[in-house]
């Protein structure tokens, strides 16, 4: 009896320990499936809805934190681990910096998933000096276009037509510019890029491996310099004026004064409220195709997902759920940007026009050295398009190229 009693006690104790371990594991599992996502206010409702659909099927809890979009990158390296996100909405040109600093984790989607995205969108989130790895799943694509107020101007098919119509409107309405494109004292290399590419400019070339080469700086390459005198001409006639800002363009375009505005889909709401009919097209070729910079937004998994023991869940959410056509269609409808997944539908016809206007565009370089480019390239445009006292464009861009090269080293 004593032996049997002892054995029974052992069995009961063992069962109790197993139950305790099971409860502890379940509690840990429940805790492990709480994911924190950082996104901007514009897309927070759609991100929340999509993530909660995944969470409902996976027994998880989603916490969405709204941030100013730019602060997501700047805060990711300084946030306390306890408050850090597991998943973030990110711009593709943050990739090099975030990956180099170990703040985001590489992702390995299946071939079937990869086939649903244009190669350039995947390249935009890929980074590596020797072997490239993917650090984000593309969800949205955005670019600027030439908006044409069709009430007061025809859609130009050549740059000569664009220039003539813009200068005629400038004279008629006593404007300080012909083509409205924002710069301001700080410059704006992003919005000026169609002119830059149209004149033969580029930021970084590619090496033999097909990777961006920061030693090949094309800001003042021979083709661009050969065409730089056109910038001086535009400055003399007032086709472009660096003092122009977003608010000025918004007012002039929506009041039917300026027929042409180079901007992005974020301006559409105000234009539609004003009742202005317009078309979004690519800037006509100058010497080369006047293609825009392309911005790709995506979802990335941070290093904190591992620290929070939710790495596998975070990657499943991003790789297998946010990649889907249905998720990206919902994001497109909410965020005013075209979906990256080719099977997703941009039901808004204006977004479709922006998509066509982005054809052949250049993804903004995602390597860390790009941080040394923006200011100098923007200032080169400001110096050469400020009207009276402007610096000759050739000298301005040569100076910018030297400054960029010295910063990159």
Kindly tell me if the per-residue pLDDT of 8 is higher than 70.
no
Give the CA distances from residue 140 to residues 82, 325, 336, in Å, rounded to whole numbers and listed in that order: 29, 11, 9
Average pLDDT over residues 236-260: 97
Output 392-395 pairs: Cβ under 8 A, ≥24 positions apart: 392/228, 392/232, 393/228, 393/229, 393/231, 393/232, 393/235, 394/225, 394/228, 394/229
Q: Where are the alpha helices (DSSP H) in 228-301?
A: 229-237, 246-254, 268-273
pLDDT computed for residue 316 by the predictor:
98
For the chain, percent of residues with pLDDT exceeding 70: 92
Average pLDDT, the chain: 91
Pairing mode, if any, of strands 133-134 and 126-127?
antiparallel
* Mean pLDDT, range 266-270, rounded to an integer: 93
Task: Find the mean pLDDT for residues 270-297.
Answer: 97
pLDDT tens-digit series, residues 326-335: 999 988 877 6
335-362 pLDDT, tens digit per residue, is: 678 899 999 987 788 988 998 999 999 9
Give me the mean pLDDT over the 394-406 stretch: 98
Confidence label for 32 from pLDDT (cuts 50, 70 and 90): low
Spatial separation of the C-alpha atoms in residues 84 and 77, rounded to whole Å: 9
The CA-to-CA distance between both ends of the chain, in Å, stands at 85
pLDDT at 155 over 90: yes
Please give the pLDDT value at position 1. 39
pLDDT at 238 exceeding the cut of 70: yes
What pLDDT band is residue 253 in, cutting at 50, 70 and 90? Answer: very high
Q: What is the pLDDT of residue 53?
A: 96
Compute how many other C-beta atoms are within 10 angstroms of the C-beta atom of residue 360. 12
Q: What is the mean pLDDT of residues 49-57?
A: 96
The predicted-structure confidence for 169-221, as pLDDT tens digits, reads as follows: 999 999 999 999 999 999 999 999 999 999 999 999 998 888 899 999 999 99
Checking if the pLDDT of 20 tops 90, the result is no
Answer for the pair 273, 250: CB distance below 8 angstroms, yes or no.
Answer: no
- Whether the per-residue pLDDT at 168 is higher than 60: the answer is yes
What is the chain's length?
409
Give me the pLDDT at residue 2, please. 41
Residue 130, pLDDT score: 73
């Amino acid at each position: 009896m004593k032996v049997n009693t002892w054995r029974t006690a052992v069995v009961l104790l063992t069962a109790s320990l197993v139950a305790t371990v099971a409860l502890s594991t379940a509690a840990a599992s429940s805790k492990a499936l709480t994911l924190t996502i950082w996104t901007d206010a514009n897309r927070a409702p759609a991100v929340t809805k999509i993530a909660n659909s995944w969470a409902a099927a996976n027994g998880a809890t989603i916490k969405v934190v709204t941030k100013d979009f730019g602060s997501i990158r700047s805060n990711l390296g300084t946030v306390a681990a306890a408050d850090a996100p597991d998943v973030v909405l990110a711009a593709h040109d943050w990739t090099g910096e975030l990956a180099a600093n170990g703040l985001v984790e590489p992702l390995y989607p299946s071939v079937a998933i990869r086939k649903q995205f244009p190669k350039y969108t995947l390249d935009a989130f890929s980074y590596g000096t020797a072997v490239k790895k993917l650090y984000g799943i593309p969800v949205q694509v955005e670019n600027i276009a030439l908006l044409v107020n069709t009430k007061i101007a025809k859609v130009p098919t050549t740059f000569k037509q664009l220039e003539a119509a813009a200068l005629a409107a400038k004279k008629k309405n006593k404007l300080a510019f012909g083509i409205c494109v924002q710069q301001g004292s700080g410059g704006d290399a992003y919005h000026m890029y169609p002119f830059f590419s149209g004149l033969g400019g580029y930021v970084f070339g590619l090496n033999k491996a097909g990777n961006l080469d920061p030693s090949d700086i094309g800001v003042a390459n021979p083709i661009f310099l050969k065409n730089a005198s056109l910038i001086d001409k535009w400055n003399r006639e007032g086709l472009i004026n660096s003092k122009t800002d977003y608010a000025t363009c918004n007012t002039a375009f929506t009041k039917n004064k300026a027929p042409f505005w180079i901007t992005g889909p974020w301006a559409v709401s105000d234009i539609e409220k004003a009742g202005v009919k317009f078309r979004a097209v690519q800037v006509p070729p100058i010497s080369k195709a006047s293609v825009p910079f392309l911005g790709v937004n995506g979802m990335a998994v941070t290093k904190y997902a591992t620290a929070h023991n939710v790495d596998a869940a975070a990657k499943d959410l991003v790789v297998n759920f946010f990649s889907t056509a249905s998720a990206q269609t919902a994001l497109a409808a909410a965020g005013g940007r075209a979906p990256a997944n080719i099977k997703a539908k941009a039901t808004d016809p204006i977004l479709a026009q922006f998509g066509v206007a982005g054809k052949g565009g250049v993804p903004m370089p995602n390597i860390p050295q790009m941080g040394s480019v923006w200011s100098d390239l923007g200032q080169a445009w400001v110096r050469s398009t400020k009207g009276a006292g402007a610096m000759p464009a050739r000298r301005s861009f040569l100076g910018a190229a030297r400054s960029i090269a010295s910063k990159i080293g």
